Amino acid sequence: MNLPRSYLMCPPEHFQIAYSINPWMDPGAPADPELAGKQWLRLRETLVGLGHTVHELPPEPGLPDMVYAANGGFLLDGTAFGARFRHPQRAAEAGAHRRWYEANGWHYAAPTAVAEGEGDLVWTGQWILAGYGFRTDPAGHREVQETFGRPVLSLRLVDPRFYHLDTALAVLSDRDPARIAYYPGAFSGASRQVLRRLFPEALLADPADAAAFGLNLVSDGRHVVLNAEATGMAAKLAAAGYLPVPVELSELKRGGGSVKCCVLELRR
């Protein structure tokens, strides 16, 4: 059974490829702002249509990556563990997130190490999987464990195209036992072993699935909203008993993100 969820999204009002901080971003190949806006709205409507609630974070000028709301925090048990961004271009997003969490009744915990929210912190329903190697610092993983009193398992990312954990791994069902999907090639050999030991039943993505952002998905345990280009991944999900819900996000992909990057989950 899938329960209604609450999400936070930030409209791409100021979205553009103004700089390059990941291999997908090419300021010479700008995004179409109008199309980006339409695609974002469609994503929002899709989540609402599935029965979920979407809250809006007001976009701020000069922060073109703010549309990737998932990077602004990790929220669980009424506490918002905020963000501290690796790159100065995104630093001011952390304050905008903090103001929203505090205004909306969340207890706020500020990271002292680099931590990029749900980009690198993934709740399985039991544990927190935490990525490092490109953005979030392992010291941030320990702060997350001290904040929530939940086991945090560190996983090393090794492919620069999959610089955030949520580009390489997703939780399909957070009911015990959790079901995840991941692309093994994004992880170090030892981290792959950890994933195999913890999740022997995981759905494995191939390089094409990962490159189409097929793992950057949002699942409510039944419906799986994912990038329409990820047709192979959609087929694998359907074969595993999920209902894939494809959405076009070509413009936001130019910034190095897709469905999951745009959607932060609010877990009271």
List of residues contacting ligand ARG (CB under 6 A)? 21-22, 25, 65, 68, 70-71, 90, 119, 164, 166-167, 255-257, 261
Phi, psi of 208 (to 5 degrees): -70, -40
DSSP state at residue 176: S
Catalytic-role residue among 10, 164, 223, 262? 164
Question: CB-based burial of residue 262 (10 Å sphere; 0-12 exposed, 13-18 middle, 19+ buried)?
Answer: buried
Separation CA 120–CA 157 (nearest Å):
10
Burial 70-86 (b: 16+ CB within 10 A, else e): bbbbbbbeebbbbbbbb
Nearer to ligand ARG, 184 or 257 (CB): 257
Nearer to ligand ARG, 119 or 184 (CB): 119
Write down the least CB distance from residue 175 to ligand ARG, Å.
23
3-state secondary structure 25-94: CCCCCCCCHHHHHHHHHHHHHHHHHCCCEEEECCCCCCCCCCCCHHHHCEEECCEEECCECCCHHHCCHH
Nearer to ligand ARG, 92 or 238 (CB): 92
Write down the least CB distance from residue 37 to ligand ARG, Å.
17
Write down the least CB distance from residue 68 to ligand ARG, Å.
4
Is 261 a residue of the active site? yes
Nearer to ligand ARG, 85 or 242 (CB): 85
Query: Do the beta carbons of residue 80 and residue 107 sit within 8 Å?
Result: yes
| Residues known to be catalytic | 164, 261
